[in-house]
Each structure stands twice: as C-alpha cells, then as structure tokens.
Amino acid sequence: MKVEETSLVDALLITLDKYDDERGFFMESYNEQAISKEIGFYEFVQDNHSKSSKGVLRGLHYQIDKPQGKLVRCTQGSVYDVIVDLRVHSDTFGKTFGIELDRPELLLWSPPGFAHGFYTITDTAEFQYKTTDYYHPRSQRTLMWNELDIEWPFSGNPVLSLKDSKGQTFEECEKYE
C-alpha cells in the first residue's frame, strides 16, 4: 500500500496493492490494521454504494452534528472527487482538494470535518465509501458546489438533486469549531 499526503491537513490518498494476471486482478480492498496505521483508528460503521450517470454532481455534503470520515473510491468508471476542509482551526480551513478517481485501488481519506462531493466523468460510475458515523438526516448539510474555486472538469451546469441545488455559500454554511 502506498500513502500520499494531499494539500489538506489529515486527508490522504491511498493506493492499494493490486495483483493483475491473465484471469483478472486481486486486491485486499480494506484491511483495518493497515488503514488504521495510516489514518489512525476509526470505527467504520456504514458502507455506501452509489451509481451515477455522466454529468451528475453529488455534494458537497457533510454532517454538522455527527461528522463522518469517509474512505472513498470509484469501483467502476471515473469521477472527479472533491473535499473541502471546514474545520475552523485547521491550517487548511476553507481549502479544497480534487482528484480523478478512476481505478478501484485508489482511495481518498476524507476525515471528519470535511465536505465531500463528486462529479461523474464517464457514462456511468459506481462509487463506494465507508463512513465513521451513521447517516443523520437532521445534521446533513450541503455546501454549494460552485461556491469555491474548484476546478471541476466540465463547463455549464451539472445534473443536481433538488437538495444539492439549494446548497449554502461558504460564508453562510455551518463549520466545525
């Protein structure tokens, strides 16, 4: 496993070992011991899996009362994944990081206190992630996708849910103290 720091404090890129041969491939997609050694110990309590069509943007989501750390990857297709540090006392508060996730062995660790979202680049994409807390609808928040200087890989408007189209600006959104 290879681990790289991102430009945001505590957020990491993890490339899992993948073994290819004429039959296909094998990889250990999650190993608590190995991951905990890199990110610290977090109990992952929920696995999520979504499928999106080209042009769909999901996010930027976070939970204010029950912050979720997310260990994310794209298992089919390609997405442009973005995280935003909303931790007021962080050295990278208000900064963003984006990367194309286009293979199942590439993971992004988004710690609690970050907003997260992604845009589907390919005709379809399947996106999977583990969370450190359960979905809590009452504390779910959305930061507007076009609020910050994020270099999304498209022009025009993405396909959004009603909730995502009504996100808050960075100034008005709740942050983590």
Taking only the tens of pLDDT, the chain with its 177 residues reads 999 999 999 999 999 999 999 999 999 999 999 999 999 999 999 999 999 999 999 999 999 999 999 999 999 999 999 999 999 999 999 999 999 999 999 999 999 999 999 999 999 999 999 999 999 999 999 999 998 999 999 988 999 999 999 999 999 999 999
Q: What percent of the chain has pLDDT over 90?
A: 98
Give the containing element (helix H, strand E) for 48: strand 46-53
**CA 62 to chain centroid:** 10
pLDDT at position 28: 96
Domain span at 7: 2-18+26-165
Active site residues: 61, 129
pLDDT at position 153: 97
pLDDT at position 170: 97
Query: Is 49 part of any domain?
Result: yes
Query: Is 171 part of any domain?
Result: no
Output the CA torsion sign for 120, 68, 84, 169: positive
Look at the chain and report how many structural domains it folds into: 1
CATH number of the domain at 143, please.
Answer: 2.60.120.10
Query: Is 173 part of any domain?
Result: no
Instruction: Compute the distance between CA of residue 133 and CA of residue 156 in angstroms, rounded to an integer.
Output: 34
Query: Is 125 part of any domain?
Result: yes
Mean pLDDT of the chain: 97
Taking Cα atoms as reference points, which of 50, 30, 48 lies closest to residue 119?
50
pLDDT at position 112: 98
Taking Cα atoms as reference points, which of 83, 65, 34 lies closest to residue 133?
65
Query: Is 84 part of any domain?
Result: yes
What are the pLDDT digits (tens) for 129-150?
999 999 999 999 999 999 899 9
pLDDT at position 161: 97
User: What do you get for the CA distance between the two ends of the chain, in Å?
Assistant: 33
Instruction: Compute the distance between CA of residue 139 and CA of residue 147 in angstroms, rounded to an integer.
Output: 20
Query: Is 176 part of any domain?
Result: no
Query: Is 170 part of any domain?
Result: no
pLDDT at position 35: 96
Query: Is 177 part of any domain?
Result: no
